[in-house]
A = this chain, B = another copy of it.
Protein backbone atom coordinates (compact mmCIF):
# COMPACT_ATOMS: atom_id res chain seq x y z
CA UNK A 1 0.00 0.00 0.00
CA UNK A 2 1.34 3.35 -0.96
CA UNK A 3 0.92 4.76 2.44
CA UNK A 4 3.00 6.58 4.95
CA UNK A 5 5.27 8.76 2.95
CA UNK A 6 3.30 11.36 4.78
CA UNK A 7 5.18 14.56 4.13
CA UNK A 8 6.25 13.90 0.58
CA UNK A 9 7.80 16.57 -1.57
CA UNK A 10 5.53 17.34 -4.48
CA UNK A 11 2.16 15.76 -5.02
CA UNK A 12 1.53 15.00 -8.65
CA UNK A 13 -1.74 13.39 -9.60
CA UNK A 14 -5.02 14.91 -8.57
CA UNK A 15 -5.51 12.07 -6.16
CA UNK A 16 -2.20 12.67 -4.55
CA UNK A 17 -2.92 16.34 -4.21
CA UNK A 18 -6.06 15.46 -2.40
CA UNK A 19 -4.15 13.17 -0.15
CA UNK A 20 -1.66 15.92 0.50
CA UNK A 21 -4.41 18.30 1.44
CA UNK A 22 -5.92 15.78 3.81
CA UNK A 23 -2.56 15.27 5.43
CA UNK A 24 -2.20 18.97 5.95
CA UNK A 25 -5.57 19.15 7.61
CA UNK A 26 -4.61 16.39 9.94
CA UNK A 27 -1.28 17.92 10.73
CA UNK A 28 -2.81 21.25 11.48
CA UNK A 29 -5.34 19.79 13.84
CA UNK A 30 -2.72 17.64 15.48
CA UNK A 31 -0.25 20.47 15.91
CA UNK A 32 -2.90 22.60 17.53
CA UNK A 33 -3.88 19.93 19.97
CA UNK A 34 -0.38 18.83 20.85
CA UNK A 35 0.48 22.43 21.40
CA UNK A 36 -2.54 23.02 23.57
CA UNK A 37 -2.22 20.08 25.88
CA UNK A 38 1.11 18.45 25.30
CA UNK A 39 1.91 15.30 23.42
CA UNK A 40 1.02 12.77 26.06
CA UNK A 41 -2.26 14.38 26.97
CA UNK A 42 -3.68 14.25 23.47
CA UNK A 43 -5.28 11.08 22.20
CA UNK A 44 -5.78 10.14 18.60
CA UNK A 45 -9.44 10.15 19.41
CA UNK A 46 -9.10 13.86 20.16
CA UNK A 47 -7.39 14.48 16.85
CA UNK A 48 -9.95 12.44 14.98
CA UNK A 49 -12.82 14.20 16.63
CA UNK A 50 -11.54 17.61 15.72
CA UNK A 51 -11.40 16.44 12.12
CA UNK A 52 -14.72 14.68 12.32
CA UNK A 53 -13.35 11.36 11.23
CA UNK A 54 -12.68 8.13 13.03
CA UNK A 55 -9.49 7.22 14.74
CA UNK A 56 -8.83 4.43 12.33
CA UNK A 57 -8.69 6.78 9.38
CA UNK A 58 -5.67 8.53 10.73
CA UNK A 59 -3.71 5.36 10.32
CA UNK A 60 -4.22 5.57 6.64
CA UNK A 61 -2.06 8.66 6.67
CA UNK A 62 0.28 8.11 9.55
CA UNK A 63 1.83 4.93 10.79
CA UNK A 64 1.61 5.79 14.45
CA UNK A 65 0.95 8.50 16.93
CA UNK A 66 4.62 9.20 17.10
CA UNK A 67 4.82 9.58 13.35
CA UNK A 68 1.92 11.98 13.44
CA UNK A 69 3.58 13.92 16.20
CA UNK A 70 6.85 14.19 14.37
CA UNK A 71 5.19 15.24 11.16
CA UNK A 72 3.04 17.76 12.96
CA UNK A 73 6.05 19.41 14.46
CA UNK A 74 7.87 19.30 11.22
CA UNK A 75 5.10 20.94 9.29
CA UNK A 76 4.60 23.51 11.90
CA UNK A 77 8.28 24.29 12.13
CA UNK A 78 8.66 24.57 8.40
CA UNK A 79 5.70 26.80 7.94
CA UNK A 80 6.78 28.98 10.75
CA UNK A 81 10.29 29.34 9.47
CA UNK A 82 9.07 30.05 5.97
CA UNK A 83 6.86 32.82 7.17
CA UNK A 84 9.73 34.42 8.99
CA UNK A 85 12.00 33.97 6.01
CA UNK A 86 9.52 35.66 3.76
CA UNK A 87 8.76 38.52 6.04
CA UNK A 88 9.58 41.65 4.02
CA UNK A 89 10.60 43.70 7.02
CA UNK A 90 13.08 41.02 7.93
CA UNK A 91 14.87 41.13 4.63
CA UNK A 92 15.86 44.75 4.38
CA UNK A 93 16.96 47.52 6.64
CA UNK A 94 19.35 47.70 9.50
CA UNK A 95 20.01 44.58 11.57
CA UNK A 96 18.18 46.22 14.47
CA UNK A 97 15.06 46.81 12.42
CA UNK A 98 15.19 43.34 10.99
CA UNK A 99 15.74 41.70 14.31
CA UNK A 100 12.89 43.57 15.92
CA UNK A 101 10.66 42.59 13.00
CA UNK A 102 11.58 38.95 13.46
CA UNK A 103 10.96 39.07 17.17
CA UNK A 104 7.58 40.68 16.74
CA UNK A 105 6.45 38.39 13.97
CA UNK A 106 7.63 35.31 15.73
CA UNK A 107 5.85 36.25 18.92
CA UNK A 108 2.74 37.27 17.05
CA UNK A 109 2.51 33.94 15.32
CA UNK A 110 3.06 32.17 18.59
CA UNK A 111 0.43 34.11 20.44
CA UNK A 112 -2.11 34.62 17.70
CA UNK A 113 -2.06 31.51 15.60
CA UNK A 114 -0.44 28.74 17.49
CA UNK A 115 -1.12 29.95 20.97
CA UNK A 116 0.33 26.84 22.43
CA UNK A 117 2.23 25.04 19.77
CA UNK A 118 5.43 26.72 20.64
CA UNK A 119 5.85 24.55 23.63
CA UNK A 120 6.49 21.79 21.18
CA UNK A 121 9.88 23.18 20.31
CA UNK A 122 10.71 24.29 23.73
CA UNK A 123 10.00 21.25 25.79
CA UNK A 124 11.27 18.23 23.98
CA UNK A 125 11.55 16.55 27.30
CA UNK A 126 8.28 14.75 26.96
CA UNK A 127 8.84 13.55 23.45
CA UNK A 128 10.09 10.14 22.49
CA UNK A 129 13.79 10.14 21.70
CA UNK A 130 13.21 9.83 17.96
CA UNK A 131 11.39 13.08 17.79
CA UNK A 132 13.89 14.94 19.88
CA UNK A 133 16.44 14.78 17.12
CA UNK A 134 14.00 16.02 14.57
CA UNK A 135 12.99 18.86 16.78
CA UNK A 136 16.55 19.91 17.33
CA UNK A 137 17.11 20.01 13.59
CA UNK A 138 14.09 22.17 13.07
CA UNK A 139 15.14 24.51 15.77
CA UNK A 140 18.52 24.76 14.16
CA UNK A 141 17.08 26.03 10.92
CA UNK A 142 14.74 28.26 12.78
CA UNK A 143 17.44 29.71 14.95
CA UNK A 144 19.62 30.24 11.93
CA UNK A 145 17.35 33.04 10.85
CA UNK A 146 17.82 34.96 14.01
CA UNK A 147 21.45 34.06 14.26
CA UNK A 148 22.30 35.53 10.89
CA UNK A 149 20.76 38.84 11.76
CA UNK A 150 22.40 39.01 15.14
CA UNK A 151 25.80 38.09 13.78
CA UNK A 152 25.47 40.65 11.08
CA UNK A 153 24.66 43.30 13.64
CA UNK A 154 27.63 42.27 15.67
CA UNK A 155 29.84 42.34 12.63
CA UNK A 156 28.75 45.83 11.69
CA UNK A 157 29.22 46.95 15.24
CA UNK A 158 25.59 47.82 15.59
CA UNK A 159 25.04 45.10 18.18
CA UNK A 160 27.00 44.17 21.19
CA UNK A 161 26.31 40.85 22.78
CA UNK A 162 27.66 38.77 25.61
CA UNK A 163 27.43 35.61 23.59
CA UNK A 164 25.45 34.99 20.46
CA UNK A 165 24.32 31.47 21.36
CA UNK A 166 23.15 32.46 24.78
CA UNK A 167 21.33 35.49 23.48
CA UNK A 168 19.47 33.38 20.95
CA UNK A 169 18.50 30.86 23.58
CA UNK A 170 17.12 33.58 25.79
CA UNK A 171 15.15 35.09 22.97
CA UNK A 172 13.67 31.80 22.00
CA UNK A 173 12.85 30.78 25.52
CA UNK A 174 11.22 34.11 26.27
CA UNK A 175 9.12 34.21 23.15
CA UNK A 176 8.00 30.67 23.71
CA UNK A 177 6.53 31.57 27.01
CA UNK A 178 4.67 34.55 25.62
CA UNK A 179 1.46 32.62 24.97
CA UNK A 180 1.35 31.69 28.62
CA UNK A 181 1.72 35.24 29.91
CA UNK A 182 -0.60 36.60 27.32
CA UNK A 183 -3.35 34.13 28.06
CA UNK A 184 -6.47 36.22 28.41
CA UNK A 185 -5.11 39.34 26.81
CA UNK A 186 -6.68 40.64 23.66
CA UNK A 187 -6.78 43.52 21.22
CA UNK A 188 -4.57 46.45 22.03
CA UNK A 189 -3.31 45.02 25.27
CA UNK A 190 -1.97 42.06 23.38
CA UNK A 191 -0.20 44.20 20.83
CA UNK A 192 1.37 46.22 23.56
CA UNK A 193 2.55 43.12 25.35
CA UNK A 194 4.19 41.89 22.18
CA UNK A 195 5.85 45.23 21.68
CA UNK A 196 7.15 45.25 25.21
CA UNK A 197 8.58 41.80 24.74
CA UNK A 198 10.34 42.76 21.54
CA UNK A 199 11.73 45.90 23.12
CA UNK A 200 12.92 43.99 26.11
CA UNK A 201 14.64 41.34 24.06
CA UNK A 202 16.33 44.00 21.96
CA UNK A 203 18.13 44.98 25.12
CA UNK A 204 20.12 41.78 24.78
CA UNK A 205 21.91 43.11 21.72
CA UNK A 206 21.94 46.71 22.71
CA UNK A 207 24.75 49.02 21.70
CA UNK A 208 24.67 52.14 23.67
CA UNK A 209 25.20 55.50 21.98
Contacts and interface: CB of A to CB of B under 8 A. Distances in A.
* Chain A interface, DSSP helix/strand/loop, else mixed: helix
Interface stretch (A15-23, A63-71, A115-123, A146-154): A115-123
B126 A38 contact: yes
A167 B170 CA distance: 11
B125 A201 contact: no
A180 interface: yes
Given A1-B54, A176-B173, A206-B203, A38 B123 contact: yes
Interface string A22-51: 000000000000011111110000001100
A38 B40 contact: yes
A126 to B, nearest CB: 4
Interface stretch (A4-12, A80-88, A90-98, A192-200): A192-200
Contacts of A119: 123, 125
Given A163-B200, A166-B193, 15 more contacts: A37-B126, A38-B123, A122-B177, A123-B180, A162-B199, A166-B200, A167-B200, A169-B177, A170-B170, A170-B173, A170-B197, A174-B174, A203-B203, A203-B206, A206-B206
